[in-house]
Chains A and B, each alone.
Chain A
Amino acid sequence: MLDVESLSVKFHTRNGSSTAVEDLSFTIDAGETLGIVGESGSGKSVSCYSMLGLVPCPPGEIQAKSVDFNGKKLLQLNNKELRKIRGGRISMIFQDPMTSLNPFMRIGEQIREAICLHQDIDKNQAKVRAIAALEEVGIKNPEARFRDFPHEFSGGMRQRVMIAMALATEPEILIADEPTTALDVTIQAQILELLKQVQQQRNLAIIFISHDLAVVKDVADKVIVMEKGVVIETGPAQEIFSQPKHDYTKKLLQAIPDPDKALKSNEHNNSDVLLDVAALYKSYQRTEGPFWRKRKVEQEVLKNICFNVYRGEILGLVGESGSGKSTLSNIITGLLDASSGSINYNGRELRFDTLAQRKKVQLVFQDPYASLNPRMTIFDCLAEPLLLHKIVEKPQLQEKVEGLMVEVGLSKEVIWRYPHEFSGGQRQRIAIARALACEPELLIADEPVSALDVTIQAQILRLLAELSERKGLTMLFISHDLSVVHSLCDRVIVMDKGQIVEQGDCDSVFKQPQHRYTQSLINAIPKF
């Protein structure tokens, strides 16, 4: 159906030309799923956008022997002809359903717009179709929800709306660009199921772009592995995943967290309690109603949280978005106050009144791009906590900063650079170095690897495991990714809707989950 032969995309900018995609060839037929796998910057999205005229030229330059869609040469079509295909016969869905729908427009209107554009029917018929499309993707009560705005839907529901919009025009090919990356694991499983189902019903061809190998393995018939714009390996999915030929593919597969190969030998003394959280509650008060008859509404976000963190262990905290895990970490670090309950640290109530107390608990955040001050050099960034806590004197400062850099696996020559000169993984190392600068006892890592590519993720996880072992650092590792937690942590806590539903030894929780929620979480992980 779609036959692409040596597609290349170049970008010409003032700083010279760069090649985003080089010599990409593939074919896809009705009912097939083609997976395109690669890390960020590998050119997997650009290649699909370029076929449909979504890459602005200039600065882009697209070349190909042929891009043939049912006899039509896509690259030779003019704008108007291409628009008929784009969105009509080849539809797309995108990564972030939160931002991919127009927040100012009712969702029904957005779907109807797509239908009216590609099909010669009037507005009322289009509305009927749109409602049918919403129903098909599992939106309950579609007539009423037709008039809702995107913000009135949850993330998973919004992705369903996106899918409804893409399918409403009855396309032959659906390009799904990281469609489940921004979603929780149980929602991801539902969306993947939905895609498989509509594919069967409509004999749809799907191009599935993802960085997540497990997901691609789950859905794809054929796979293309890309790195830096170049196709590394291509073939049937089974073959690629069971007998990868190329080193890069092997490296990608090895980077997937493997619970059987624990990153860390858990030899620690389980009796020494460092952090003791008991009967912790947190609720927010909201006011409802007009100001002359306001009433207060209590919303509980944490209910009866009790757990211990033992000295030297890595404790995983797992939950989906909205489960309260970030609220909990904010309370432990003193950024929020609990409504009731107690947190004891080393046998005494945890307080952050003095610098010395503050220094014991440190944080590493999710987004290494946003969590480093872009106007401070790495030296300043690391020196600030060192001077603040009087850990070293001025003369030894540079030596200490260099030592920290080496400790997290970076070169000590680069300390005078600014954050934008580093890659995401390097920045996360810097963020870890900054936390280590305070010589903390407890490190709270809030989704520290979820913004990173899988190979980088593996490196950072190894670094964390190593640091915990070498320095005897205690760690609270917060993540939505169960396999990451399984491979790194000693024990795990599972949270759902503000409550701890299960806690225990990592291996036993993952192998024999007791609670229904944990079971559904574990079942939702794409199996490898």
Chain B
Amino acid sequence: MLSYIVKRVLAAIPVLFLVVLITFILVRIAPGGPFDEERSVPPQVLENLNKRYNLDLPVHEQFFSYVGNLLQGDFGPSFKYPNRSVTEIISTGAPVTIELGLYALIFAMILGCSAGVFAALRPNSWRDYSAMSTAMIGICVPSFVLGPLLVLIFGIYLGWLPVSGWGYSPGDKILPALTLGAAYAAYLARLSRGGMLEVLNQDYIRTARAKGLPEWQVVIKHGLRGGLTPVIAFLGPAAAGLLSGSFVVETIYQIPGIGRFFLQAAFNRDYTMILGTTIFFAFLIILFNLITDILLVWLNPKLRSEVFNQ
């Protein structure tokens, strides 16, 4: 197992390097630069700025000095927020974004999996159809529609929950988590329905029934483990999507996460900021996929013993 993990972690290093390289090249190729504004800057000032941020050096030298700093944990200064470093911005914003993503994921798992299992128990019944059409709607409605809708209903008409903020008043984390998690809940519902349907037709489920187990124990003890495998396989990409897709929700609810910086950095040609956030997200995505893969191996006794015996 350890050997497997070490191998996967080592394999992630060249991937991260490639992400840095490609992003670095892409932002330089993109027209415009960090200091191009509608109000033109005097040439002398521009030259000084370029000099200060090493933008006057040849591109390959810039790249190597960036990577060198990166290896020491320094993401460089932000071009747009001169007083703050990228490291500082990420370290204040990231915990918020991660927390939001985590809540959304938990919400999506609980709602999605129970809806999927519920639907799979009686396939092609009204239960199945209603759960699956709700899921379809969940997939179709984008978060910038769902967010304001939830705010209107729960925040303004009913007045149950605060409409914005993060950690200022009790319950203000609920609506953002629901908004962000809804689409993933719908995906997970479809996946868990499919997985459960397949497993419930297996011979060993018949064995469990033949033992005389009550139906709920058949489903929970014998069905869930195999039925939720596709759900777990989807968790890696889902976690990645939740994190990098949070900027809409962060904007709607005024949440000081990293998602907004990610988007603004691209508009502003804030080179170091783009690179910093991209590397950060890439790292998380690789990490979550690794965790998912390990989980999948761990949950399947046959794979587990194969990996162990390697």
Q: Mark A71-96, 1 if CB is under 8 A from B, else 0.
A: 00000000010011111100110101
Q: Are B207's CB and A151's CB within 8 A?
A: no
CB atoms of A117 and B204 under 8 A apart: no
Q: Which A-B residue pairs are the 10 nearest by beta carbons?
A: A87-B212, A290-B3, A87-B211, A99-B203, A149-B301, A83-B212, A104-B225, A102-B204, A92-B210, A151-B302
Q: Write out the residue numbers on chain B whose beta carbons fall within 8 Å of the beta carbon of A85.
A: 212
CA distance A286 to B206 in the complex (A): 36
Interface of B is mostly: helix
Chain B hits for A103, CB < 8 A: 204, 226, 300-302
Q: How far, in angstroms, from A391 to B211 measured CA to CA in the complex?
A: 58
B308 to chain A, nearest CB (A): 11
Determine the distance from Cα of A35 to Cα of B300 in the docked complex, in whole angstroms: 38
B212 to chain A, nearest CB (A): 3
Q: Cβ of B3: which chain A residues have Cβ within 8 Å of it?
A: 290-292
CA gap between A117 and B210 in the complex, in Å: 12
Bound form: Cα–Cα A103–B301 in Å: 7
Interface size class of B (residues with CB under 8 A): 20 to 34
Is B40 at the interface (CB under 8 A from chain A)? Answer: no
Q: Is A87 in contact with B210, judged by CB distance below 8 angstroms?
A: yes
User: A residues within 8 Å of B by Cβ?
Assistant: 52, 54, 80, 83-88, 91-92, 94, 96, 99-105, 113-114, 117-118, 149, 151-152, 162, 165, 287-292
Cα separation A288 to B302 with both chains bound (whole Å): 16
Question: What is the chain A residue whose CB lies nearest that of B222?
Answer: A102
Tell me whether A100 and B203 are in contact (CB under 8 A): yes
**23 interchain pairs (CB within 8 A)?**
A54-B209, A86-B212, A87-B210, A87-B213, A96-B203, A99-B204, A100-B206, A102-B222, A103-B226, A104-B300, A105-B221, A113-B221, A114-B211, A117-B212, A117-B213, A149-B305, A162-B207, A165-B207, A289-B310, A290-B3, A291-B3, A291-B310, A292-B3
The residues of B that contact A88 with a CB separation of less than 8 Å are 212
CB distance from B228 to the nearest CB of A (A): 11
CA distance A275 to B208 in the complex (A): 50
**B222 touching A83, Cβ below 8 Å:** no
**With A86-B210, A86-B212 given, is the CB distance from A104 to B305 under 8 Å?**
no
Contacts of A118 in B (CB 8 A): 212
The A-B contact count (CB < 8 A) is: 84
Q: What is the distance, in angstroms, from A496's C-beta to the closest C-beta of chain B?
A: 26
In the complex, residue of chain B having the shortest beta-carbon distance to the beta carbon of A85: B212
B52 at the interface (CB under 8 A from A): no
Give the one of B226, B300, B310 with max A CB within 10 A: B310
Greatest chain A CB density within 10 A among B2, B204, B209, B211 is at B211
Q: What residues of chain B have their CB less than 8 Å away from a CB belonging to chain A? A: 2-3, 6-7, 202-204, 206-214, 221-222, 225-226, 299-302, 305, 309-310
B207 in contact with A101 (CB, 8 Å)? yes
Q: Which residues of A contact B206 (CB under 8 A)?
A: 54, 94, 100
What distance in Å separates the Cβ of B301 from its nearest Cβ neighbour in chain A?
A: 4
* CB–CB A104/B226 < 8 A: yes
**B229, chain A: closest CB distance, angstroms:** 9
Which residue of chain A has its CB nearest to the CB of B213? A117
Q: In the complex the two chains form, is B203's CB within 8 Å of A94's CB?
A: yes
The docked-state distance in angstroms from the alpha carbon of A88 to that of B212 is 7
Cross-chain contact B210 with A102 (CB below 8 angstroms): no
Residue of A105, A117, A152, A289 touching B222 (CB-CB under 8 A): A105
What residues of chain A lie closer than 8 Å to B221, measured between beta carbons?
105, 113
| A104-B310 contact in complex given A94-B206, A117-B212, C-beta closer than 8 Å | no
A151 contact from B204, B211, B305, Cβ within 8 A = B305
In the complex, which residues of chain B have a beta carbon less than 8 angstroms from the beta carbon of A100? 203-204, 206-207
Do B211 and A113 touch (CB < 8 A)?
yes
Q: Which of B204, B209, B310 contacts A288 (CB 8 A)?
A: B310
Q: A67 vs B107: C-alpha distance in the bound complex, in angstroms?
A: 49
A113–B299 CA distance with the chains assembled, in angstroms: 20
Checking B207, B226, B309 against A94 with a beta-carbon cut-off of 8 angstroms, the contacting residue is B207
Complex: A484 Cα to B144 Cα, angstroms: 68
CB-CB nearest in chain A for B210:
A92
CB distance from A85 to the nearest CB of B (A): 8
Decide: A101 and B204 in contact? CB cutoff 8 A. yes
**Do residues A104 and B301 form an inter-chain contact, with CB atoms below 8 A?**
yes
**What residues on A are CB-neighbors of B309 within 8 Å?**
288
- Residues of chain A within 8 A of B207, CB atoms compared: 92, 94, 100-102, 162, 165
B310 touches A83 (CB 8 A): no
Q: Given the complex, which residues of B lie within 8 Å of A152, measured CB to CB?
A: 305
Q: CB-CB < 8 A to A86: which residues of B?
A: 209-212
Contact partners of B211 in chain A: CB under 8 A: 86-87, 113-114, 117, 165
